[in-house]
């Protein structure tokens, strides 16, 4: 796999407080892919780091809070596990935004590398305080 020659990765801080899940996920995935840069190439990974805070305060439109389901199958007959978004927001609010962003990234070899550069935190405190970040609205 080709590596970018000049890796100038920036850090972006996104506050998810009262933002809609899908719109926030598209912003994050665009930054992770690197489409906002003039050096964008489909086969090279020029994306930046993204720190998302306040994931517990994200909004969902319509009836998604009650009706949207996440599915997981263990591989055995009859073992389809389902969880609603409201359950997931209570237990692990970071998982909801991670799944949305992962679904919007291209399904190729670069997806796991891009997801490693995505950091999500349920509240405002995060360990990346000393890193110079750019706020994204």
Q: What is the pLDDT of residues 25-39, one digit of tens each?
A: 999 999 999 999 998
**Which 8-state DSSP code applies to residue 59?**
B
The tokens for 44 are 């090279």
- The 10 Å CB-count burial string (b at 16+, else e) for 89-109 is beeebbbbbbebbbebbeeee
Say which CATH topology domain 11-61+93-124 has.
Ribosomal Protein L13p; Chain: A; (3.90.1180)
Q: Domain-by-domain residue ranges, the chain?
A: 11-61+93-124
Q: What is the pLDDT of residues 5-26, one digit of tens each?
A: 567 899 999 999 999 999 999 9
**Which 8-state DSSP code applies to residue 124?**
S
The structure's pTM equals: 0.89
Q: How confident is the model at residue 2, as a pLDDT?
A: 61
- The mean pLDDT of 73-92, rounded to a whole number, is 94
The three-class DSSP label of residue 70 is: strand
The pLDDT-based confidence of 120 (bands split at 50, 70, 90) is very high
Q: How confident is the model at residue 35, as a pLDDT?
A: 94
């Amino acid at each position: 796999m080709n590596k970018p020659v000049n890796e100038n990765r920036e850090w972006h801080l996104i506050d998810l407080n009262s933002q809609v899940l899908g719109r926030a996920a598209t912003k994050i995935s665009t930054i992770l892919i690197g489409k906002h840069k003039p050096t964008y190439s489909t086969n090279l990974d020029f994306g930046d780091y993204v720190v998302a805070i306040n994931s517990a305060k994200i909004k969902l439109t319509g009836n998604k809070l009650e009706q949207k389901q996440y599915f997981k199958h263990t591989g055995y007959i009859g073992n389809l596990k389902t969880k609603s978004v409201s359950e997931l927001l209570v237990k692990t609010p970071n998982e909801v935004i991670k799944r949305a962003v992962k679904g919007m990234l291209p399904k190729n070899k670069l997806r796991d590398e891009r997801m490693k550069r995505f950091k999500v935190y349920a509240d405002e405190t995060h360990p990346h305080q000393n890193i110079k970040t750019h706020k994204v609205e």
